[in-house]
Amino acid sequence: MPDVLATPKFLAAPGVLLDVRSPAEYAQGHLPAAVSFPLFSNDERSQVGTCYKQEGHDRAVELGLAIAGPKLAQFVVDAKALAPDRTLRIHCWRGGMRSGSMAWLMETAGFRVSLLDHGYKGFRQWVRSALAVPKPILTLGGMTGTGKTSILHALAAQGEQVLDLEQLANHRGSSYGNLGLPPQPTTEQFENLIVEQWAALEVDRPVWIEAESRMVGCCRVPDELFLQMVAAPVLQIERSRSERVALLIDVYGSVDREHLITATERLRKRLGGDRTQQAIQWIQQGNLATAIEVVLNYYDKTYLYDLQRRQVPIYSVSAAGLSDSETAQQLIQTAHQVVVETGFQQTEKAAIVAYG
C-alpha cells in the first residue's frame, strides 16, 4: 500500500512527482516540481465526466478503465525512464481514483509510491494557510529604473532572504515588463511558485521583497502576502534621473522597437495622447533616452502617489555611484536601524488603511 502523506511531508518526500490530472488541469496550476503524467487526455477526461453525469458512477468507471487499459504498459515504461530508482510521488485532483489507480499500477510494477492526501485540492488549501504565516518583511522601494531587481539579487548573494516576485511572474511590473521574458504563469501557478519559497524562509530573519502593486503583469499577488508587504517598512533606493535612464537603456536598449511602441501604446490613456505620440516618435528615431524621460514622468507620479498612501516608515538609501553589491551593503546596515526602530511591527490594520 502506498504511503498517504500530508502536503508538507509529501513535498519533502523522495521520488519523482507525477501529476496524473489532465494536461489542462496541470496548465492551470501544479506543484512546482511536478511532471505532467496524465491518466486521461483533456478530451478523455471530459468523456468520463459526461458519462458520470448522464449514466452514473459505475458506467463512468467502466469507461475510464476502457480508456486507460491500453495505456498501462506505456505508463510503466515512461515512469521507469523518469524514475530509474523506482521511487514516485503521485497525486490527482483530490486523492481519488486517478491517483489511486496509477499508484496501484506502479506498485505492481515494483515502484515505491507515496500519495498526496486530498490531492492537489489539499495542496491548494495548504498554500493559503502557508502564505498567511507572518514573516518580517523589508520592502525594497524606489522609482522605475533604480535597479531594484539587480540589487535584490545582490542582497541574496550576501546571504539575505529574498523573495523575487517579478522573477516568479516573468514580468518586471510595468507596461514594458514582459518584453524579452517567457510567458507569465497563471495566477494560481504564481501562488504555487511563491509558496515554495515562502514556506522555506526563516521566520526570525527579514525577507526582502521588491515593492509591487497587487498585479505583477497578469499575476495577482496573493492577499495573504500582499497585506504583509504593504504594512512593511520601505527602504527606498535613490538614484539620479540620468542614472535611472542609463539603467533602463541597459534593460530595454536591445528590445525590438515595435515591441517598445506596442508597450507604450498601452499607456496612452494614462500618459495622454500627446506624450504617448512624443515617446513613440523618439523610439522610432532611435532616441530611447528621451522616450524614457517622457514615460518616467508618468511612472514617477504614480510611484509617489502610491508611496504617500502607505502609513509605514520609509528609509532612503542612496545608490548614487554605487555598485549593486555596495548598495546591498548599505541596505543591510540600514535594515539594522529598521529592526531597532520598528521591531517589524507589521499589522493587517496598517495594510487595510493604506489599500482598503
CATH of the domain at 306: 3.40.50
Within its chain, how far is the Cα of 39 from the centroid? 27
Give the pLDDT of residue 350. 37
Q: Residue 183 has what DSSP assignment?
A: P
Q: Which grid cell is 74?
A: 506505456
User: Last residue of a domain, which of 78, 95, 128?
Assistant: 128
pLDDT in the model for residue 355: 35
147 and 121 within one domain: no
Per-residue pLDDT of 162-200, as tens digits, reads 999 999 999 998 888 888 899 999 999 999 999 999 999
Q: Which of 71, 100, 128 is the last residue in one of the domains? A: 128
Which residue positions in the chain have pLDDT lower than 50?
A: 346-356
Number of compact structural domains in the chain: 2
Q: Looking at residue 168, what is its pLDDT? A: 98
**Structural domain span for residue 28:** 3-128
At 344 the pLDDT is 60
Q: What's residue 247's pLDDT?
A: 95
* Residue listed under C-alpha cell 524621460: 293
CATH number of the CATH domain containing 120: 3.40.250.10
| Ordered DSSP codes for 90-159 | EE-SSSSHHHHHHHHHHHHTT-EEEEETTHHHHHHHHHHHHHTS---EEEEEE-TTS-HHHHHHHHHHTT
In a shared domain, residues 200 and 95: no
For residue 343, what pLDDT is reported? 66
Q: Going by DSSP bridges, is the β-strand pair 215-216/219-220 parallel, antiparallel, or unpaired? A: antiparallel
The answer on 192 and 226 residing in a single domain is yes
The DSSP letter of residue 71 is G
What is the C-alpha to C-alpha distance for residues 250 and 14, in angstroms, rounded to an integer? 42
Q: What is the DSSP letter of 186?
A: P
pLDDT score of 347: 41
pLDDT for res 352: 36
Q: How far apart are CA 301 and CA 238, in angstroms?
A: 15
Query: In degrees rounded to 5, what are phi and psi of residue 339?
Result: -60, -45
- The pTM of the full predicted model, rounded to 2 decimals, is 0.91
The C-alpha cell 521520488 sits at 15
CA atoms within 13 A on the CB side of 316: 6
**289 sits in which H/E element:** helix 288-309
172 and 293 within one domain: yes
Instruction: Report the distance separating Cα 8 and Cα 213, nearest Å.
Output: 30
Which residues does the annotation mark as catalytic? 92
Same domain, 121 and 143: no
- pLDDT score at 340: 78
